[in-house]
Structure 1
Amino acid sequence: MSISKQELVERSQVILAHAWMVRTFIKHCDEVDDYPELMGITRAVFDASRALETRVDDPDSYLKMLRKKIGRLRKATDQFALDAPEASLHTNFEQAVISMKGCTQALEALLADVEE
Protein backbone atom coordinates (compact mmCIF):
# COMPACT_ATOMS: atom_id res chain seq x y z
CA MET A 1 0.00 0.00 0.00
CA SER A 2 1.45 3.31 -1.05
CA ILE A 3 1.06 6.38 1.12
CA SER A 4 1.48 10.00 0.15
CA LYS A 5 4.53 12.03 0.98
CA GLN A 6 2.37 14.22 3.23
CA GLU A 7 1.33 11.13 5.18
CA LEU A 8 5.02 10.21 5.55
CA VAL A 9 5.65 13.69 6.95
CA GLU A 10 2.78 13.30 9.41
CA ARG A 11 4.06 9.89 10.55
CA SER A 12 7.55 11.33 10.92
CA GLN A 13 6.22 14.13 13.09
CA VAL A 14 4.57 11.59 15.43
CA ILE A 15 7.82 9.66 15.68
CA LEU A 16 9.76 12.84 16.38
CA ALA A 17 7.28 13.71 19.14
CA HIS A 18 8.31 10.50 20.88
CA ALA A 19 11.98 11.37 20.42
CA TRP A 20 11.25 14.83 21.84
CA MET A 21 9.92 13.23 25.03
CA VAL A 22 13.17 11.27 25.42
CA ARG A 23 15.01 14.55 24.90
CA THR A 24 12.94 16.18 27.63
CA PHE A 25 13.53 13.29 30.05
CA ILE A 26 17.29 13.36 29.54
CA LYS A 27 17.55 17.13 29.59
CA HIS A 28 15.87 17.30 33.00
CA CYS A 29 17.26 14.18 34.67
CA ASP A 30 19.67 14.55 37.60
CA GLU A 31 22.16 12.14 36.03
CA VAL A 32 23.01 14.60 33.27
CA ASP A 33 25.03 16.63 35.80
CA ASP A 34 27.45 13.73 36.20
CA TYR A 35 27.14 12.43 32.63
CA PRO A 36 27.07 15.45 30.28
CA GLU A 37 27.65 13.12 27.33
CA LEU A 38 23.95 12.27 27.61
CA MET A 39 23.25 15.71 26.17
CA GLY A 40 24.35 14.44 22.75
CA ILE A 41 20.97 12.84 22.18
CA THR A 42 19.16 15.98 23.32
CA ARG A 43 21.07 18.10 20.82
CA ALA A 44 20.53 15.64 17.97
CA VAL A 45 16.77 15.41 18.57
CA PHE A 46 16.49 19.19 18.93
CA ASP A 47 18.47 19.79 15.74
CA ALA A 48 16.45 17.31 13.67
CA SER A 49 13.09 18.40 15.05
CA ARG A 50 13.68 22.10 14.58
CA ALA A 51 15.08 21.64 11.07
CA LEU A 52 12.08 19.56 10.05
CA GLU A 53 9.27 21.50 11.69
CA THR A 54 9.69 24.40 9.28
CA ARG A 55 9.13 22.06 6.33
CA VAL A 56 5.95 20.18 7.29
CA ASP A 57 3.99 21.90 4.52
CA ASP A 58 6.56 20.97 1.86
CA PRO A 59 6.93 17.18 1.87
CA ASP A 60 9.75 17.08 -0.68
CA SER A 61 11.81 19.57 1.32
CA TYR A 62 10.93 17.80 4.57
CA LEU A 63 12.03 14.39 3.30
CA LYS A 64 15.21 15.85 1.83
CA MET A 65 16.06 17.38 5.22
CA LEU A 66 15.18 14.14 7.03
CA ARG A 67 17.64 12.31 4.78
CA LYS A 68 20.24 14.90 5.72
CA LYS A 69 19.56 14.64 9.49
CA ILE A 70 18.98 10.90 9.92
CA GLY A 71 22.68 9.99 9.97
CA ARG A 72 23.44 12.31 12.86
CA LEU A 73 20.36 11.12 14.72
CA ARG A 74 21.41 7.48 14.19
CA LYS A 75 24.94 8.22 15.43
CA ALA A 76 23.61 10.06 18.51
CA THR A 77 21.19 7.20 19.22
CA ASP A 78 23.96 4.63 18.99
CA GLN A 79 26.13 6.68 21.34
CA PHE A 80 23.21 7.19 23.72
CA ALA A 81 22.74 3.42 23.86
CA LEU A 82 26.32 3.17 25.12
CA ASP A 83 26.21 6.15 27.48
CA ALA A 84 22.83 5.67 29.15
CA PRO A 85 23.71 2.45 31.03
CA GLU A 86 26.83 4.15 32.35
CA ALA A 87 24.66 6.92 33.80
CA SER A 88 21.96 4.66 35.25
CA LEU A 89 20.55 1.17 34.96
CA HIS A 90 17.11 2.45 35.94
CA THR A 91 14.23 1.33 33.76
CA ASN A 92 13.64 4.92 32.63
CA PHE A 93 17.04 4.97 30.93
CA GLU A 94 16.59 1.50 29.46
CA GLN A 95 13.23 2.51 28.02
CA ALA A 96 14.66 5.79 26.69
CA VAL A 97 17.29 3.84 24.76
CA ILE A 98 14.66 1.46 23.37
CA SER A 99 12.48 4.42 22.43
CA MET A 100 15.26 6.28 20.62
CA LYS A 101 16.29 3.14 18.75
CA GLY A 102 12.67 2.61 17.74
CA CYS A 103 12.27 6.22 16.62
CA THR A 104 15.41 6.13 14.53
CA GLN A 105 14.51 2.79 12.95
CA ALA A 106 11.00 4.00 12.18
CA LEU A 107 12.30 7.18 10.51
CA GLU A 108 14.77 5.14 8.47
CA ALA A 109 11.95 2.80 7.41
CA LEU A 110 9.82 5.76 6.29
CA LEU A 111 12.71 7.05 4.21
CA ALA A 112 13.14 3.59 2.70
CA ASP A 113 9.44 3.64 1.74
CA VAL A 114 9.98 6.90 -0.12
CA GLU A 115 12.87 5.47 -2.10
CA GLU A 116 10.94 2.37 -3.22
Structure 2
Amino acid sequence: MTPVECMQRVDALLSHVWMIRTFLKHSEEAEEDEELCEVHRALYDYMHALGGPLAANNPEAYLKQARKKLSKLRRANELFQEIQPEISSHTNFQMAAQSLQTAVRELAELLESA
Protein backbone atom coordinates (compact mmCIF):
# COMPACT_ATOMS: atom_id res chain seq x y z
CA MET A 1 0.00 0.00 0.00
CA THR A 2 1.41 3.40 -0.93
CA PRO A 3 1.48 6.25 1.60
CA VAL A 4 -1.30 8.00 -0.35
CA GLU A 5 -3.47 4.87 -0.28
CA CYS A 6 -2.79 4.43 3.43
CA MET A 7 -3.75 8.06 4.12
CA GLN A 8 -6.95 7.62 2.15
CA ARG A 9 -7.84 4.43 4.03
CA VAL A 10 -7.17 6.04 7.40
CA ASP A 11 -9.33 8.99 6.38
CA ALA A 12 -12.12 6.62 5.33
CA LEU A 13 -11.99 4.89 8.73
CA LEU A 14 -12.08 8.27 10.42
CA SER A 15 -15.42 8.98 8.77
CA HIS A 16 -16.82 6.33 11.13
CA VAL A 17 -15.07 7.92 14.09
CA TRP A 18 -16.54 11.27 13.08
CA MET A 19 -20.07 9.89 13.12
CA ILE A 20 -19.51 8.34 16.56
CA ARG A 21 -18.10 11.63 17.82
CA THR A 22 -21.10 13.52 16.46
CA PHE A 23 -23.54 11.07 18.03
CA LEU A 24 -21.82 11.31 21.40
CA LYS A 25 -21.44 15.07 21.33
CA HIS A 26 -25.12 15.65 20.62
CA SER A 27 -26.46 13.04 23.01
CA GLU A 28 -28.32 14.17 26.11
CA GLU A 29 -25.96 11.98 28.13
CA ALA A 30 -22.98 14.15 27.12
CA GLU A 31 -24.60 17.11 28.87
CA GLU A 32 -24.39 15.19 32.15
CA ASP A 33 -21.19 13.16 31.88
CA GLU A 34 -17.74 14.78 31.79
CA GLU A 35 -15.99 11.53 30.85
CA LEU A 36 -18.23 11.15 27.81
CA CYS A 37 -17.31 14.71 26.84
CA GLU A 38 -13.63 13.75 27.17
CA VAL A 39 -14.22 10.94 24.68
CA HIS A 40 -15.87 13.03 21.98
CA ARG A 41 -13.27 15.80 22.44
CA ALA A 42 -10.41 13.32 22.08
CA LEU A 43 -11.95 11.90 18.90
CA TYR A 44 -12.25 15.42 17.51
CA ASP A 45 -8.69 16.32 18.50
CA TYR A 46 -7.31 13.27 16.72
CA MET A 47 -9.15 14.05 13.51
CA HIS A 48 -8.39 17.77 13.73
CA ALA A 49 -4.65 17.05 14.04
CA LEU A 50 -4.77 15.25 10.68
CA GLY A 51 -6.73 17.93 8.82
CA GLY A 52 -3.76 20.06 7.79
CA PRO A 53 -1.68 17.26 6.28
CA LEU A 54 -4.78 15.87 4.56
CA ALA A 55 -5.64 19.26 3.02
CA ALA A 56 -2.04 19.63 1.91
CA ASN A 57 -2.12 16.11 0.44
CA ASN A 58 1.00 15.27 2.45
CA PRO A 59 0.75 11.56 3.25
CA GLU A 60 4.08 11.41 5.07
CA ALA A 61 3.11 14.17 7.52
CA TYR A 62 -0.41 12.75 7.82
CA LEU A 63 0.77 9.25 8.69
CA LYS A 64 3.43 10.56 11.07
CA GLN A 65 0.83 12.60 12.93
CA ALA A 66 -1.68 9.73 12.88
CA ARG A 67 0.88 7.45 14.51
CA LYS A 68 1.97 10.10 17.00
CA LYS A 69 -1.61 10.69 18.21
CA LEU A 70 -2.73 7.05 18.07
CA SER A 71 -2.22 6.45 21.79
CA LYS A 72 -4.69 9.25 22.60
CA LEU A 73 -7.25 7.74 20.25
CA ARG A 74 -6.75 4.35 21.88
CA ARG A 75 -7.22 5.85 25.35
CA ALA A 76 -10.44 7.55 24.25
CA ASN A 77 -11.70 4.24 22.91
CA GLU A 78 -10.73 2.41 26.12
CA LEU A 79 -12.50 5.03 28.21
CA PHE A 80 -15.64 4.81 26.10
CA GLN A 81 -15.64 1.00 26.28
CA GLU A 82 -15.36 1.29 30.07
CA ILE A 83 -18.05 3.92 30.65
CA GLN A 84 -20.55 3.07 27.92
CA PRO A 85 -22.49 0.45 29.93
CA GLU A 86 -22.86 2.93 32.79
CA ILE A 87 -23.99 5.75 30.51
CA SER A 88 -26.61 3.89 28.54
CA SER A 89 -27.57 0.36 27.58
CA HIS A 90 -29.44 1.66 24.53
CA THR A 91 -28.54 -0.05 21.28
CA ASN A 92 -27.26 3.25 19.83
CA PHE A 93 -24.59 3.45 22.52
CA GLN A 94 -23.74 -0.24 22.25
CA MET A 95 -23.29 0.07 18.50
CA ALA A 96 -21.27 3.27 18.88
CA ALA A 97 -18.93 1.43 21.26
CA GLN A 98 -18.60 -1.50 18.86
CA SER A 99 -18.07 0.79 15.88
CA LEU A 100 -15.42 2.85 17.66
CA GLN A 101 -13.60 -0.25 18.83
CA THR A 102 -13.58 -1.65 15.29
CA ALA A 103 -12.43 1.61 13.69
CA VAL A 104 -9.64 2.14 16.23
CA ARG A 105 -8.44 -1.45 15.91
CA GLU A 106 -8.37 -1.23 12.10
CA LEU A 107 -6.64 2.17 12.21
CA ALA A 108 -3.98 0.84 14.57
CA GLU A 109 -3.39 -2.26 12.43
CA LEU A 110 -3.14 -0.13 9.32
CA LEU A 111 -0.74 2.40 10.85
CA GLU A 112 1.43 -0.28 12.42
CA SER A 113 1.74 -2.24 9.17
CA ALA A 114 2.31 0.70 6.83
TM-score when normalising by structure 2: 0.94
Deviations 1:42-68 (A, max 9, x none): 111111111101112111111110111
**Aligned position for 1:63:** 63
Distance of 1:61 and 1:78 partners within structure 2: 26
Contact 1:32 1:38 in 2 (8 A): yes
Give runs of aligned pairs for residues 15-94 of structure 1, distance below 5 A.
Answer: 15-56=13-54, 57-94=57-94
Name the SS for the 2:69 alignment partner.
Answer: helix
Runs of 4+ in 1 over 2 A off after TM superposition: none
Distance of 1:47 and 1:34 partners within structure 2: 21
Return 5+ residue gaps in structure 1 as ranges. none
Residue 75 of structure 1, CA deviation: 0.5
Letter aligned with residue 27 of structure 1:
K
**How many residues end up aligned between the 2 structures?**
112
Residue 40 of structure 1, CA deviation: 1.6
TM-score when normalising by structure 1: 0.92
Contact 1:40 1:80 in 2 (8 A): no
Give me the CA root mean square deviation.
0.9
Return 5+ residue gaps in structure 2 as ranges. none
Q: Give me the identity figure in percent.
A: 38
